[in-house]
Amino acid sequence: MDALDDTRLLPGVGADATLLFVHAHPDDETLVTGATMAAYARLGARVVLLTCTRGELGEVIPAELGHLEVGKSPDADGAGLAAERERELDRALAALGVTEHCFLGQGFAGQGSAGPGRVFRDSGMQWGPDGRAMAADVVLEGSLSRVPLDETATLAAGAIRAVRPDAVVTYAADGGYGHPDHVRTHQLVIRALALAVHGDGDVPGWPVPAVFTIVSDRPERPLDDSVERIAVHGDGAAKKAAMRAHRTQITVAGDRYALSDDVWKDISGVEEFVRLEGPRP
């Protein structure tokens, strides 16, 4: 990767910053923010990842792991795939140079000494007639999108107070391509930002200075021309290595990749964001 400078990064977020990335499932962090995360980690910034679910209901690409996919074998309840995706995420984060991570309801995004942490399940999805993701016909209790917003947002607010980030990065309001867990992740982050301003017990509040949303290649509607798109020139090589780690979800061949839909795309080290301006609820 070429030498980086502040003009190729998020505006006002330099190498001495702390960044909190919030994603819905393992592999999302790599696909849409991996190059940015790796670039900041290489520069010495503190890069922290919060993942909301373990992706229990994801499709599985390699035939030898197909038995892990829910519905593909009688005993596939999602637990095996969740464990495999946790291992993949560990390897991906090592490739990105990111050392701080936890799942929502655990660690710095958990309930502390009050009791065991929560686990939020992948909500699943189906493809709608417009080609965008939509809610599945059956969404199980305990799935991220079914849990009351204040419950998940309170945990995320605790993570913000604990990490004290200079910048938070997550999805736009449409979740990028409509997945219910991506939409819910945006909602809980926005609510958490408001909650985190206020202290909780002995922990001071933390107003996050900068919030950025991810520009998707499959948005619900095109961005208005007046909206400034911020291009981060990140570490494409590290991103590619991390994509290879997520083998249940991503196939990598040379400088291209495909998901379970077999649509091949170029791997890019340039990722785009929009700064979230104005008051946040």
Distance CA(259)–CA(250), nearest Å, equals 5
Mean pLDDT across the chain: 90
pLDDT in tens, 112-124: 444 457 899 998 8
In a domain, 1, yes or no: no
Q: Chunked in runs of 10, what are the mean pLDDT values of the chain (281 residues)? A: 67 97 97 98 98 93 88 76 96 98 94 65 82 72 91 96 98 89 96 95 93 90 87 98 97 96 94 83 50
pLDDT value of position 98: 98
**Cβ atoms within 10 Å of 131's Cβ, excluding its own:** 9
Q: Which two tokens stand for residue 45?
A: 């910034």
Q: Domain range spanning residue 79?
A: 14-275
pLDDT value of position 113: 41
pLDDT value of position 1: 44
In a domain, 281, yes or no: no
CA atoms within 13 Å, Cβ hemisphere of 50: 35
In a domain, 4, yes or no: no
In a domain, 233, yes or no: yes
Any idea of the CA torsion for 84, 87, 91, 96, to the nearest 10 degrees? Answer: 100
Question: Is residue 243 a contact partner of residue 258, using CB atoms and an 8 Å limit?
Answer: no
| SS3 call for 256 | strand
pLDDT in tens, 205-226: 999 999 999 999 888 778 888 8
In a domain, 203, yes or no: yes
pLDDT value of position 129: 83
In a domain, 280, yes or no: no
Distance CA(280)–CA(187), nearest Å, equals 11
Q: What is the reported pTM? A: 0.93
pLDDT value of position 114: 43
| SS3 call for 67 | helix
In a domain, 157, yes or no: yes
Question: Is residue 210 a contact partner of residue 193, using CB atoms and an 8 Å limit?
Answer: no
Question: Is residue 63 a contact partner of residue 36, using CB atoms and an 8 Å limit?
Answer: no
Contacts of 55 (CB under 8 A, 6+ apart): 25, 26, 27, 81, 82, 85, 122, 249
CATH code, 103? 3.40.50.10320
Counted domains in the chain = 1
In a domain, 237, yes or no: yes
pLDDT in tens, 176-205: 888 999 999 999 999 999 999 999 888 999
pLDDT value of position 279: 52
